[in-house]
Structure 1
C-alpha cells in the first residue's frame, strides 16, 4: 500500500471530480480500495472545513426569538414567548 500525503490525497480527490468516473471506478484505476478512498475523502475534507475550535461565533445583537422556546433543566421548565430578546436569553444561559 502506498503512503500518500494530505496534498496527494487532495489532488486525487480533484482528479476524481474532473474524471467523470464513479468513485469506485476511479479508486480501482488508481489501485485504491474504494471504501478506503471514501473514508479518506470524508476524513480529509471534513478536516479541511474544521476550524478546530468546536464552536461557532454567534452575534445576537438586535435579534429576537421568532418562535416561542421551552427551556428545561432537570425538573424546571421555562417557556419564553416569541419576541424574547436574544441578548437577554444569552445572559440567562450564561448564568445557568
Structure 2
C-alpha cells in the first residue's frame, strides 16, 4: 500500500476529473480500492473547504468576526456586524452572565 501525502491525493483527484473515467474505474487503474479513494476524497475536500471558509481573522488587536452574527436569547436578538471584535463580544457576554 502506497502512503500518499494530502498534496498527492489532491493531484490524483484532479487527474480523475480530467481522465474521463468513473471514479471506480480511475481508482482501480491507479491500484486504489475505490471505496478508500472515495473516503479520502470526501475527507480531504471537506478539510480543504473548512480551511477556506474560516470565520475569524487574527489581527494584532484580537479576533474579528468576518461575517455578521446574531445572538439570540428568548425574545432578545443582538445583531453584530462583520468586523466585530471577538474580545468585546466575550466581555459583553461575560458581563451579562453576572
Which band: TM-score by shorter chain?
Answer: 0.5 to 0.7
Greater share of residues in strand: 2
Q: How many residues align?
A: 76
Instruction: Say if 2:27 and 2:37, in contact at 8 Å, map to a contact too.
Output: yes
How far is 1:58 from its partner? Answer: 2.0
User: Structure 2 CA distance, aligned partners of 1:40 and 1:10?
Assistant: 9
What are the ranges of 5 or more consecutive residues in structure 2 without an aligned counterpart? 57-65, 81-88
The structure that has the greater radius of gyration is: 1
| Higher RCO, Cα 8 Å, sep 6+ | 1
Runs of 4+ in structure 1 over 6 Å off: none
What are the ranges of 5 or more consecutive residues in structure 1 without an aligned counterpart? 66-70
Question: Structure 1 pair 35/51, CA: closer, same or farther in 2 (3 Å)?
Answer: same
Q: 1:59 aligns with which of 65, 68, 72?
A: 68
How do residues 1-96 of structure 1 correspond to structure 2 at under 5 angstroms? 1-51=1-51, 55=55, 57-59=66-68, 77-78=74-75, 86-87=79-80, 94=93, 95=96
TM-score (norm 2): 0.58
Question: Structure 1 pair 31/47, CA: closer, same or farther in 2 (3 Å)?
Answer: same
RMSD: 3.2
How far is 1:53 from its partner? Answer: 9.1
Question: Structure 1 pair 58/8, CA: closer, same or farther in 2 (3 Å)?
Answer: same
How far is 1:27 from its partner? Answer: 0.4
